[in-house]
Amino acid sequence: MKKLLLSAVTFTALAVAPALAADLPRKAPPPAAPPPPPPITWTGCYIGANIGGIFGRFDANFNDFEAGSNRRSGFTGGGQIGCDYQFAGSGWVIGIRDMFNGTTLSRDRTFFDGVNFVDVHTRLNWFDTLTGRLGYAWTPNWLLYGQGGVAWTRASADLTVNNFDFGSVGRTRTGWTAGGGVEWMFARGWSAFLEGNYMDFGDNDHTIFDPLHVTCPVGGCNFSTHAKAATVLVGVNYRFGWGKAPY
């Protein structure tokens, strides 16, 4: 009888044990690892601002008399907008950018051509550059680049000959530009750059007239200029990704 009772108790315990075990609290599984951050890429469009120095040279000639070079320096600042594309699996980056800046370049010059006293006040009001660029990211967030393209500027000169005011001569000029720099992506969507550029706007000829024909003959006098400029700029860009986070 005792053996029969012991067998019944053992059988009951074995039957109930799995059900009791199912009711016990279980340890939660470890949390899943976070996804890896998106890879750094220079692909995307951006908008930004810049400031720096500008160094200009204004060569002038009056009636084929070389008045010499008018060198000056000033401040420049403005904004830029552009887009870049980085080739997959590569550090090579291509892009296009437009930059528009105002300048403080201005200077007065007086010279004597053997007959006339000539006063010239020159100004470089603004410049606009449209450039393509080619760069290489030697680390994911550092980009070294060169660039070149077309440049426009508004250059003007106020001319006085023998105290006769001929007014202002000037126009929007077209030239070329080339330069390069380095850019650092320092935070998600943000980059900073340091660059230098050279711009050449070529020769620009003007014919000026003296109504009394005291200084200039009936056909007028020739006044020609050649404008050049170089810039050193620092700036910051905010980048918009093309379906990917840029950092």
Domains (ranges, CATH) in the chain?
41-65+72-240 (2.40.160.20)
User: What integer best gives the mean pLDDT of the chain?
Assistant: 79
Extract the runs of DSSP E, i.e. beta strands, from 41-116.
44-62, 65-86, 92-112
Span of 2-6, 80-84, 165-169 with lowest mean pLDDT = 2-6
The pLDDT of residue 71: 74
> pLDDT band for position 246 (50/70/90)?
very low
The pTM for the full model equals: 0.73
Residue 11 identity (one-letter amino acid): F
Question: Are residues 202 and 172 in contact, defined by beta-carbon separation less than 8 angstroms?
Answer: no
pLDDT tens per residue, range 10-24: 555 455 555 555 555
C-alpha 130, offset from chain centre: 10
Span of 43-47, 105-109, 148-152, 243-247 with lowest mean pLDDT = 243-247
pLDDT, mean of residues 92-100: 98
* Residues 18, 24, 25, 28, Cα dihedral to 10°: -20
Residues 6+ apart with CB under 8 A from 210: 161, 164, 166, 216, 220, 221
pLDDT tens per residue, range 215-229: 666 666 766 777 889
pLDDT, mean of residues 121-145: 92
pLDDT tens per residue, range 28-51: 666 766 665 567 789 999 999 999
Question: Are residues 173 and 204 in contact, defined by beta-carbon separation less than 8 angstroms?
Answer: yes
